[in-house]
Amino acid sequence: MSNEIKIDLHDVNNDSDAIDQALAGALEQARRTRTKCLQIVHGKGSGQLKKRVARFLQSPEVRAVARNVDNDSKNWGRVFVYFRWPER
């Protein structure tokens, strides 16, 4: 089991499809490897990317496995998603 996956959305911040693919891919990788934490760096910017990440985190597939979502207290351009995976 991997402890953490980090995804930086700075490179895809202007490409809606690429953002969706990056987030879905990170979630799938976390599920496959039963990662404990997914770190999403959305940056500070205008806040649009942060809102998009927040909508993703409210999706049923994320809510079903997310134990907790924490904003980084030292960097508000980053969020941590902690998972609870069902027993196999």
pTM: 0.90
Model confidence band, residue 1 (pLDDT cutoffs 50, 70, 90): low
Phi, psi of 56 (to 5 degrees): -60, -45
- Is 69:79 a contact under the CB 8 Å cutoff? yes
pLDDT for 76-86, tens place per residue? 899 999 999 98
Model confidence band, residue 65 (pLDDT cutoffs 50, 70, 90): very high
Gap between the Cα atoms of 69 and 64, Å rounded: 13
pLDDT for 12-56, tens place per residue? 878 889 999 999 999 999 999 999 999 999 988 778 898 899 999
**Partners of residue 82 on adjacent β-strands:** 37, 68
Domain boundaries along the sequence of the chain: 4-83
Which CATH architecture describes the domain 4-83? Answer: 2-Layer Sandwich (3.30)
Gap between the Cα atoms of 23 and 58, Å rounded: 13
